[in-house]
Amino acid sequence: MIEMYVKNVVFFEEGGGFAVLLCDKNNKMVLPIFIGPLEAQSIALALEKQKLPRPLTHDLIVEIMQKFSISIQKAIITDIKDGTYYAELYLRDYNNVISVIDSRPSDAIALALRVNCPIYMAPKLIEFTYKYEELIPQ
C-alpha cells in the first residue's frame, strides 16, 4: 500500500466538477478522484479543520463511532472499475476486532481526515496518477 495525503480539493472548469487530489508523501504522484459538490465541501471543511454549529453527516458518523468505542484505523483506495473508484474503511471495535467496510472514496477520505488516520492507495492504481504540474498548471 502507498500512503497518501489530501493535497487539495479543486474545481475543474473543463469538466465542471470537483476532485480531491491525493498525493504520495514524496509529492511525486497525484491521484485525482472526482467527487460531488457536497463531498467536496465536507472534505474541504475537514482540511481546514472548521467546525460548524451543527454536525454534518461525516461529523455525526465520527461522533456515533466514538460513542460506541469504534475507531477508524485506515482508509484504502482499493480499485477502479469502469471509471469508478472503490475504497475500504478499516474499523476497530471495543473488542479490538477489525472490520472492513466498503465505502465511497469521498466518504472514506472525509472520515479519515476527521479522525486523523492514514489514507492509502493500492499500488495497482499508480497507472491512474499524474504529476501535480500536469493537473494544476503553475
Tell me how many domains the chain contains.
1
Cα–Cα–Cα angle for 58, 124, 10, nearest 5°? Answer: 45
- Per the prediction, the chain carries an average pLDDT of 93
Q: Looking at residue 135, what is its pLDDT?
A: 72
> Among 76, 75, 85, 74, which Cα is nearest to 128's?
85
Tens of pLDDT, residue by residue over 48-100, are 998 889 999 999 999 999 999 999 999 999 999 999 999 999 999 999 999 99
Per-residue model confidence (pLDDT) at position 138: 57
At 71 the pLDDT is 97
pLDDT greater than 90 at residue 137: no
Residue labelled with grid coordinates 504529476:
131
CATH of the domain at 11: 3.10.690.10
Give the domain extent around 44: 2-135
Q: Is the pTM of this model over 0.85?
A: yes
